[in-house]
Structure 1
Amino acid sequence: MQRGKFITLEGVDGAGKSTHLPFITELLKSSGHETVVTREPGGTPLGERLRELLLHEAMHPETETLLMFAARREHIDKVILPALERGAWVLSDRFTDASFAYQYGGRGVSKDKIKTMENWVQGNLQPDLTLLFDVPVSVSCQRLAGARDPDRFERENAAFFKRIRAAYQERASSFPARFRIIDSSQSLESIRKVLEDIFISI
């Protein structure tokens, strides 16, 4: 059986990636693909428990990084690899690029330490396609201001999100064949047209 595709959605909080997840899901399903929709941190019962800690408990940045990768290890083993091996397409709201953005860019954890964790936890596994929803930090902060009760990441200041955005852009520059950067300040209709064009070509 042909291996499925692994697609990830990335972006700063407020970039709108979660808004477009259902539309992308329907694009894949309408093309006849079994589609598994998941998220990080989370995706498994243990991962969801770790997610609650990560989003709401204060901790050292390296503890945060280790817990992110602990949840990811379970996610890969229990959800991502089994789905890919049976030919399903996996659509994940965040993956390891988020660790480079948030823990390296945002928190200042050593990039080398995160690379070591990446190699240890996922080996050769990388997304086939990463959609980076990009907006100016002023826009993301404005969107977050009107959102639900924010978690501890969403409560961070604009400087934090600027570092995250820069780290995402650095990551995209390092892997240009995998990343598609989407201007998420466009209208909903414009973004959907961009997404349709992307998925026609894969």
Structure 2
Amino acid sequence: MNETNRPWPGLFISFEGIDGSGKSTQARRLSETLRNRGLNPVLTREPGGSPGAEEIRALVLQGDPDRWSAETELLLFTAARRDHLERVIRPALEAGRVVICDRFADSTRMYQGRGGLRDKVDALHNLMIGVEPDLTLLVDMPADAGLSRAKARATDEERFEDFGLALQQQMRDGFLALAQDHPNRFRVIDGNRDITTVATEILDTVTPYLPACPA
């Protein structure tokens, strides 16, 4: 099966953005709205989303910022994504469902691709994943505001946040550049507004794609 051609009837939506941008909240809200409309969406996340991938999530998001080399981290993220794809994403898309994923390969391109590893990220993705979302919603937020919001959360998954503001700004710039490079897939949403306003714009953006995905 040629995964790159996506021979399935489902709709694959990813949410991207820096830490604290509000993308996880918006992914949940979209899922709830679609469920209330009679659809049966799958809400999932990365790293994680399947039992094996959730175990890898704990390895990569907790601990000292220098716990892993960049190359090891890239391999862990790719392994988690492959398991997630096999066990959750692909079966749901083949069943014609809407899959809403909080982060996907674009986050790996940004975070694990920093420091000159972007070519390796893309090569591994093409070899082992071969799937891109139909629609990527980039919830954009100023780097300092996002970091402040991320640090206010009660969580033990702060490894990337501990790299500080410089990484946040680098990731924001990188995401916006990705959106420019892939305008057919990306939609940039201003996340620096109240939650309801952002959610309304996201729903308006997603709605034209829904008829292609049977309930």
**TM-score when scaled to structure 2?**
0.88
Residue 116 (structure 1) shift: 0.2
Equivalent of residue 92 in structure 2, options 83, 87, 93: 83
Contact kept, 8 Å, 2:28 with 2:43, in 1: the verdict is no
RMSD: 1.6
Is there any run of 5+ residues in structure 1 with no aligned partner, and where?
A: none
Structure 2 SS opposite 1:51: helix
Matched pairs, number: 199
Asked if 1:66 corresponds to 2:72, the answer is: no
1:47-96: CA deviation from partner (whole Å, max 9, x where unpaired): 01100000114110111111000000111111111110011111111100
Equivalent of residue 138 in structure 1, options 132, 137, 144: 144
Residue 22 (structure 1) shift: 2.0
Equivalent of residue 193 in structure 2, options 186, 189, 196: 186
- In the alignment, which residue of structure 2 is the partner of 1:171? 178
Structure 2 SS opposite 1:104: coil
Residue 173 (structure 1) shift: 1.1
Contact kept, 8 Å, 1:62 with 1:109, in 2: the verdict is no
1:77-119: CA deviation from partner (whole Å, max 9, x where unpaired): 11111110011111111100000111124xx142111110110
Is there any run of 5+ residues in structure 2 with no aligned partner, and where?
A: 1-6, 210-215
Residue 144 (structure 1) shift: 2.1
Counterparts of 1:79 and 1:193, CA distance in 2: 27
Equivalent of residue 56 in structure 2, options 40, 50, 56: 50
- In the alignment, which residue of structure 2 is the partner of 1:13? 19
Equivalent of residue 111 in structure 2, options 84, 87, 102: 102
1:115-155: CA deviation from partner (whole Å, max 9, x where unpaired): 101101122x2101111111011111221232214521121
- In the alignment, which residue of structure 2 is the partner of 1:201? 208
Contact kept, 8 Å, 2:151 with 2:161, in 1: the verdict is no
Worse-matched range after superposition: 4-13 or 16-25: 16-25
Aligned-pair identity (%) = 39
**TM-score when scaled to structure 1?**
0.93
Contact kept, 8 Å, 1:61 with 1:109, in 2: the verdict is no
Structure 2 SS opposite 1:13: coil
Letter in 2 for 1:121: M
Shift >4 Å, 4+ stretches: none
Counterparts of 2:8 and 2:62, CA distance in 1: 40
- In the alignment, which residue of structure 2 is the partner of 1:160? 167
Asked if 1:41 corresponds to 2:29, the answer is: no
